[in-house]
Chain A
Amino acid sequence: MTTSSSQSTTLWSDLLLRAMAELRELYNPLEDQLADSQREDFAHLFDGSAKLDEMLQQSAPNRHDLMNVLSAIRGYGEMLREDLATEHAELDSALTRLLKGIQAANSGGDTSEPASATQRTITTEPGFILAVDDLQENRELVARYLSRSGHIVVTAAGGEEALRSLDQADVDVVLLDLVMPDMDGREVLRRIKEHPEWRATPVIIISGRQDMDGIIECIEAGADDYLFKPFNPVLLQARIKAGIERKRWHDREQLYRQQLERNEKFIRATFGRYLSDEIVTDILERPEGLELGGDLRRVTIMMSDIRGFTSLSEQLEPAQVVSLINRYLAAMTDIIMAYHGTIDEFIGDAILAVFGAPQYRDDDADRATQCALEMQAAMEEINRLNREDGLPEITTGIALNTGDVIAGNIGSERRSKYGFVGHAMNVTSRIEDVTAGGEILIADSTLQSLNNQYRTGDSRELKVKGIDELLQVHQILESDR
């Protein structure tokens, strides 16, 4: 079969099967009013429909057999129309459509109807559809329509069965008949929307045109869409497509959220040791924060060092050295983080921290200076604890320098860290070298960056390798505030 002929098969067979489904629906309430011969005609008609259905499942149905079945359907359809058309307008119109479908089959797929809506093919990614309807014909019809467009369709004859199916499979869209004997569609809908995992699954309500109130009720209860019976297959496909897309969006969104959560966990674990919670949160909240590329930043660099620690440590037991240094580093870390400093590294007893990266703030120099003052103030408490534990008292010197550095993920793919490079780092180290115990020395560049006033002590000039001019450094004594 060529594509075009199979497409025209789809066209007329859709028309036919749709009309047949309508006839089944119309027939059920009428059955008792009909004469025996009419009931037989209907039975034969449905029989023919079943055979037709069977044939259409085949990839290349025998034309002769097909025409025999169509002929039979046409015959019974015409007989029934002759008998019943005047009394039953709905039946007449369904039969007329049925016969039109046969006519279309015979003329190679042409319908006299304006075919624009029928011919539109709706392409969509295949989905997993659960069709819930107590009438077997309706289930089969829906299954046929939708499996033809590549969807996987499972059917359920009632509410309980539907809920079981939902439990077993990841359903993309639920097509839900409103009126069912065992569990009403409303109840099924309520259970779906209450379920933590199912609630995101779009539900399309299928109902008779007369039950608008029921549909409104369902939409208020969380249904996503609705279709009137008998439904237009193109409309059904369009709604299914929209439903699948909605579900896919939700799935993707959930996936992204999980990835983000993983990333966030990773970032918190990675940066949390060096950065304050607030900075980690800031990074996470900025989309570009996830891609910390290297960039040039103006930062205030802090370097602190315990004076004479190397010789001190030689006189102590290793365990004492560790507890001494840990107490000191823990206290200093807390203070630096409180001032939103980024700890770049501990080098033995030395701390290298940066203010202004990954996030620049206007008061970077001020916070660094305040931080240094508080660190010095904290030494009193540390030394009190050291005395209690029989450990020696220690003093620290803190150097601050403000300058441009490259900040970013530095290293190789296997091992990288958020770090800083630049001459300003070396300059800070040079200042640190000349700081005495209990002293805070800040470079002229930091002093110029301060917004607040601080009481300064002596100023000195240092010779720094690589710079011709002498570097001005100032002693900070306390905040003037």
Chain B
Amino acid sequence: MTGTILLVEDNELNRDMLIRRLVRAGKEVVSAADGQQALDLMRSEKPAVVLMDMNLPILNGWTACRQARADDTIKHIPIIALTAHASDADRLNALEAGCDDYATKPVDFPGLLIKIEKLTGNC
């Protein structure tokens, strides 16, 4: 059992799809639509893993990631960056911000599940 997954995605269409798929895969999901909400939910829900889009309103994914890493109460929660950019620079940006892994859109769902299992299993 993975535990709760926090999905941070501002795009409603993609958010709904991922929630739907994760639920179908037997996961428990909470979701946020911006970086600030994401940090709040990380603190209150203590999710097992965070799937975070990087282009977020209010607080972008990179900043949210850095702030999470600076917060002792949530710095251990693994974050998988969801990015539309597959380039090395973007991957590095996400990892530099403190993300543990990344998945590029359009998301390869089975691959994402493996990443989730790997990260939550490690914890």
Spell out A's residues near B (CB within 8 Å): 41, 44, 47-48, 51, 63-76, 78-79, 102, 105-106
* Contacting pair B84 A75 (CB below 8 A): no
Contact bitstring B79-93, A, C-beta under 8 A = 1, else 0? 000001110000000
* Contacting pair A75 B11 (CB below 8 A): no
A residues in contact with B13, CB < 8 Å:
44, 47-48, 51, 68-69, 72
B2 at the interface (CB under 8 A from A): no
* Contacting pair B106 A70 (CB below 8 A): yes
A residues in contact with B107, CB < 8 Å:
71, 74-75
In angstroms, Cα B24 to Cα A76, docked, is: 12
* Contacting pair A79 B105 (CB below 8 A): no
Closest CB in chain B relative to A49 CB, distance in Å:
11
In angstroms, Cα B17 to Cα A102, docked, is: 15
B73 at the interface (CB under 8 A from A): no
Closest to B16 in A: A44
B21 at the interface (CB under 8 A from A): yes
Which of the residues A70, A72, A73, A105 comes within 8 Å of B16, measured between beta carbons?
A72
Spell out B's residues near A (CB within 8 Å): 9, 11, 13-14, 16-18, 20-21, 24, 53, 55, 84-86, 104-107, 109
Closest CB in chain B relative to A17 CB, distance in Å:
16
Among B17, B85, B105, the most chain A Cβ lie within 10 Å of the Cβ of: B17
Question: Interface SS of chain A: helix, strand, loop or mixed?
Answer: helix
Q: Do A67 and B84 form a contact, CB below 8 Å, given A73-B106, A74-B107?
A: yes
3 cross-chain pairs, A with B, having the tightest CB-CB distances, nearest first: A67-B84, A75-B17, A71-B106
Q: Do A71 and B105 form a contact, CB below 8 Å, given A44-B16, A48-B13, A64-B55?
A: yes
Closest CB in chain A relative to B57 CB, distance in Å:
12
In angstroms, Cα B109 to Cα A74, docked, is: 9
* Contacting pair B105 A67 (CB below 8 A): yes
Among B13, B105, B106, the most chain A Cβ lie within 10 Å of the Cβ of: B106
B residues in contact with A78, CB < 8 Å:
21, 109
Q: Do A64 and B84 form a contact, CB below 8 Å, given A74-B107, A79-B24?
A: yes
22 contacts between A and B (CB under 8 A): A44-B16, A44-B20, A63-B84, A63-B85, A67-B106, A68-B84, A69-B13, A70-B105, A71-B14, A71-B105, A71-B106, A72-B14, A72-B16, A72-B106, A74-B107, A74-B109, A75-B17, A75-B21, A76-B17, A76-B20, A105-B106, A106-B86
Closest CB in chain A relative to B93 CB, distance in Å:
14
In angstroms, Cα B86 to Cα A105, docked, is: 12
Among A44, A48, A65, A67, the most chain B Cβ lie within 10 Å of the Cβ of: A67
A residues in contact with B17, CB < 8 Å:
44, 48, 71-72, 75-76
